[in-house]
């Protein structure tokens, strides 16, 4: 197999709706050399990151569109263009290898086309680059609908958000403070610094294989972005409490909650994805922690709830993931504008279904890794309007931006992922508002 052909297949997978996190490992297994795997990763992430720019270039280089069955050749040309625009591979080698990949894809007829397109780009790069600068989608390499939504929600920040989304993310760690203080752990690393907004976060300047991290197997550290670490901190669990992590997989926040307070009465880690729950189990084992793992639809409470109220609930809701595009650039290709209303409905449904499970006086933390108000403040506005016994607890923090409801970290802010949090207190009966909507 040729690396460029494999990269083209990965991009095709993403165009067909498969996530990069699934497509890349599946197509990398055939390469044994770690340098080949690293090249494949760099190219496939790079093409997804630059997709809307590269696509605009390619459309200008082709005389007519390709047939649907030749999507692999289209993707191969994107791979070729990415090497010419963004990689330090000698241009002649990039072109030659990309053209050679047509045989591996069993499309020898496309040799001439791929060669002509890449050479045309080499001749007219300046002109084409100037032309695409007229289009925001190409300039920022995002779909138009996403740019419009981000601009509408964040009129003063939209450009910064789009630029941050195209940066490489930091390699962030969470020190297990049950095992060691982060200052002690920091000393074991070279070229690393604390994330001051968090209690346990560290950024390691150069990404590494997690197995090489000191004490990883022994559970001394986990990989987690700084913003994601704020969820468990906000939940603020106490001894002997009953806690629900309603959308738990792969367990980043479940394990953090338990590291902060191992002596809970119970922590239920719920998710409807059986395969992802295996990762929760794996993470708990490595960190020597325990939770009750349940595979069920959180919104279908009768299916799984034992009838005992929870002191705290974390709802890390399924969302567009528009705040973590720098880690998952394929989101720009996978997400469609029509997904947004469906997601907002699902988020409101989960909030509404889980609220009765919270004790009066209890706290629910609603979190998303989204920057869209549609999934954040607007979901909460609807929920609060329809729920008499809820009161927002304002988050007083040094990080992020205060919103009408909740608090938002924008991508890249404090070198963190984009995340949204709101804390909802369940009022005791005597304090329930009587201005609710029904």
Ligand X SMILES: C[S@@+](CC[C@H](N)C(=O)[O-])C[C@H]1O[C@@H](n2cnc3c(N)ncnc32)[C@H](O)[C@@H]1O
User: Does residue 201 belong to the site contacting ligand X (CB under 6 A)?
Assistant: no
Largest CA distance in the chain: 78
Q: Does 226 bind ligand X (CB under 6 A)?
A: no
Q: Give me the least distance between CB of 279 and ligand X, in Å please.
A: 8
Q: How far is the CB of 428 from ligand X (least distance, A)?
A: 28
Task: Give yes or no for residue 53 binding ligand X (CB under 6 A).
Answer: no
CB of 298 to ligand X, least distance (A): 4
Helices (H), 154-308: 158-165, 182-187, 229-235, 252-260, 274-287
Containing H/E element for 65?
none
Closer to ligand X by CB, 133 or 303: give it.
303
Name the phi and psi angles at 156, rounded to 5.
-90, -10
Which lies closer to ligand X via its Cβ, residue 3 or residue 249?
249
Query: Using the rule CB under 6 A, is 298 a contact of ligand X?
Result: yes
Q: Which residues inside 107-166 make contact with ligand X, applying CB under 6 A?
A: none
Residue 273 binds to ligand X (criterion: CB under 6 A): yes
What tokens appear for 58 in the block? 């390619």
318 contacts ligand X (rule: CB under 6 A): yes
Question: According to CB under 6 A, which one of 4, 49, 242, 272 is a site residue for ligand X?
Answer: 272
Nearer to ligand X, 316 or 417 (CB): 316
- Choosing from 225, 316, 330, 375, the residue that interacts with ligand X (CB under 6 A) is 316
Q: What's the min distance (Å) between Cβ of 270 and ligand X?
A: 6
Pairing of β 192-194 and β 242-245: unpaired
Which residues on adjacent β-strands are paired with residue 358? Answer: 310
Q: Near ligand X by CB under 6 A, which window of 167-175, 292-300, 370-378, 415-423?
A: 292-300
Q: Give the C-alpha distances (Å, rounded to integers) separating 31 from 12, 24, 207, 320, 383.
A: 19, 11, 21, 32, 50
Work out how close the CB of 273 gets to ligand X at its nearest, in angstroms, rounded to a whole number: 4
Q: Which residues pair with 363 in a beta bridge?
A: 312, 425
Contact between 207 and 181 (Cβ < 8 Å): no
Give the nearest distance from C-beta 323 to ligand X in angstroms: 10
Q: Which of 215, 299, 360, 388 binds ligand X (CB under 6 A)?
A: 299
Q: Of the candidates 297, 339, 381, 402, which one interacts with ligand X according to CB under 6 A? A: 297
- For residues 409 and 417, the answer to whether their CB atoms sit within 8 Å is yes
Burial class (CB in 10 A: 0-12, 13-18, 19+), 60: middle
Residue 112, SS3 per DSSP: helix
Q: For residue 79, which of 33, 36, 48 has the smallest C-alpha distance?
A: 48
The minimum distance between CB 338 and ligand X, in angstroms, equals: 18
Q: Which is nearer to ligand X, 114 or 228 (CB)?
A: 228
Closest CA to 298 of 338, 253, 234, 353: 353
Instruction: Give 50 or 169: the residue with its C-beta nearer to ligand X.
Output: 169
Residue 19 has a CB neighbour count (10 Å cut-off) of 15
- Contacts with ligand X: how many residues (CB under 6 A)? 18
Q: Which is nearer to ligand X, 250 or 418 (CB)?
A: 250
d(CA 438, CA 436): 6
Of 245 and 311, CB closest to ligand X: 245
CA-nearest of 203, 167, 165, 172 to 321 is: 165
Binders of ligand X among 238-267, rule CB under 6 A? 247-253
Query: Which of 271, 330, 375, 417 is close enough to bind ligand X by CB under 6 A?
Result: 271
Stretch binding ligand X (CB under 6 A), from 117-125, 258-266, 269-277, 355-363: 269-277
How far is 44 from 38, CA to CA, in rounded Å? 10
Contact between 276 and ligand X per CB under 6 A: yes
**Active site (catalytic) residues:** 369
Nearer to ligand X by C-beta: 56 or 319?
A: 319
Q: Print the binding letters for residues 396-425 with ligand X: x by CB under 6 A, - otherwise.
A: ------------------------------
Q: How far apart are the C-alpha atoms of 310 and 322, rounded to whole Å?
A: 30
On whether the CB atoms of residues 405 and 377 are closer than 8 A, the answer is yes
Long-range contacts from 92-98, C-beta under 8 angstroms, 24+ separation: 94/118, 95/119, 95/122, 97/2, 97/3, 97/4, 98/4
* Site residues (CB under 6 A) for ligand X, limited to 371-400: none
- Cβ 365 to ligand X, closest distance in Å? 11
Q: Which residues bind ligand X (CB under 6 A)?
A: 228, 247-253, 270-273, 276, 297-299, 316, 318
């Amino acid at each position: 197999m040729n690396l460029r052909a494999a990269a083209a297949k990965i991009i095709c997978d993403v165009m067909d709706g498969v996530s990069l996190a699934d497509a890349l490992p599946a197509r990398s297994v055939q390469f044994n050399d770690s340098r080949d795997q690293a090249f494949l990763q760099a190219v496939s992430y790079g093409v997804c990151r630059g997709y809307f720019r590269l696509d605009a270039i390619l459309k200008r280089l082709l005389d007519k569109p390709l047939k649907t069955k030749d999507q692999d050749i289209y993707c191969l040309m994107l791979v070729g263009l990415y090497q010419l625009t963004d990689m330090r591979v000698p241009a002649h080698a990039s072109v030659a290898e990309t053209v050679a990949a047509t045989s591996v894809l069993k499309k020898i007829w496309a040799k001439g086309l791929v060669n002509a397109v890449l050479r045309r780009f080499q001749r007219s790069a300046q002109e084409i680059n100037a032309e695409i600068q007229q289009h925001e989608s190409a300039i920022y390499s995002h779909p138009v609908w996403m740019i419009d939504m981000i601009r509408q929600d964040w009129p003063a920040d939209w450009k910064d958000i789009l630029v941050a989304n195209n940066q490489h993310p930091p390699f962030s760690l969470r020190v297990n403070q049950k095992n060691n203080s982060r200052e002690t752990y920091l000393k074991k690393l070279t070229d690393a610094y604390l994330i001051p907004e968090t209690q346990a976060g560290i950024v390691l300047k150069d990404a590494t294989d997690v197995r090489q991290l000191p004490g990883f197997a022994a559970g001394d550290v986990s990989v987690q972005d700084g913003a994601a670490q704020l969820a468990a901190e906000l939940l603020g669990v106490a001894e002997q409490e009953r806690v629900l992590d309603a959308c738990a997989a792969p367990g980043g926040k479940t394990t953090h909650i338990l590291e902060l307070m191992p002596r809970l009465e119970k922590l239920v880690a719920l998710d409807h994805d059986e395969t992802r729950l295996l990762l929760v189990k794996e993470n708990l084992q490595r960190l020597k922690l325990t939770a009750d793992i349940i595979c069920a639809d959180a919104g279908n409470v009768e299916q799984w709830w034992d009838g005992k109220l929870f002191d705290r609930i974390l709802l890390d809701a399924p969302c567009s993931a528009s705040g973590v595009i720098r880690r998952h650039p394929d989101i720009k290709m996978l997400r469609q504008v029509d997904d947004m209303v469906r997601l907002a409905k699902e988020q409101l449904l989960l909030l509404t279904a889980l609220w009765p499970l919270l004790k009066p006086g209890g706290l629910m933390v609603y979190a998303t890794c989204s920057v869209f108000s549609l999934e954040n403040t607007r979901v909460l506005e609807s929920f609060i309007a329809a729920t008499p016994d809820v009161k927002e607890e304002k988050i007083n923090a040094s990080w992020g931006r205060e919103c009408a409801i909740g608090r938002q970290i924008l991508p890249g802010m404090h070198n963190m992922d984009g995340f949204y949090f709101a804390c909802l207190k369940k009022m005791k009966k005597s304090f329930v508002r009587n201005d609710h909507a029904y």
